[in-house]
Structure 1
Amino acid sequence: NGGCGYVKKPDFLLETGGSDNEVFDPKAKLPVKTTLKVTVYMGEGWYYDFKHTHFDQYSPPDFYTRVGIAGVPSDTVMKKTKANKDNWLPTWNETFEFPLSVPELALLRIEVHEYDMSEKDDFGGQTCI
């Protein structure tokens, strides 16, 4: 695709299901094709983009990461690291496994939040791969 950002549909979405014209059902229970293993090592850069009091008035932020899959319902899940207390350069070194039945439609979603005891947790950033 020349790096344009367009991702072609997987072949199974383009094909007809044979003689009975079966259509792909994303809600169907399918066998696991592969397992994605993800390790969250560290985060960096928030102290460049945010004021030192942006997340907490009197202490450095308590970051945690939510990692998950956006895809067909059977693959969709979110998991969470432990909060890394009072640290602008958090390191987690936590590994997660995601069994995928339709890896062709799965996106890895990564979110960073700042833990708050008394209020709703603050959003730090996110990306999808």
Structure 2
Amino acid sequence: MEAGTGKRLAGLQLLLVEDNFLNQQIACELLQAEGAVVTVANDGAEGLACVAGCGPGGFNAILMDMQMPVMDGYEATRRLRAQGYTSLPILALTAHVLDAEREVCRAAGIDDFIAKPIDFDELIGTVARHCGCA
């Protein structure tokens, strides 16, 4: 948290990879209310392009929907990890939070989970924890 702002995610650069416009709007509003700067990608391929365009250190974390057209979150996460983004937190946005789904996500390289529908405290707390703001 930046001194004096009172916002838990102040100054963080986040990439939101989500194909659903309503989910994009909700997540952006919640994250921006806590001071984050949010870049939106509509699918995994766009997400990879955003990361490549910014390079290492461009984003503090990625919030990744797992079910998307063009390229899903599993494949995008695997590719990011293979490209050397091993310490960049990638957080799954998913309605499927059963243990079996969590294992598939972890195998792809996901660090943590945020359940849909999105809960404000869970979203902000999970991002803050993985970005060292908690």
- Give the structure with the higher percent helix: 2
Specify the TM-score bucket, using the shorter chain as the normaliser: under 0.3
More strand by share: 1
Relative contact order higher in (CA < 8 Å, ≥ 6 apart): 1
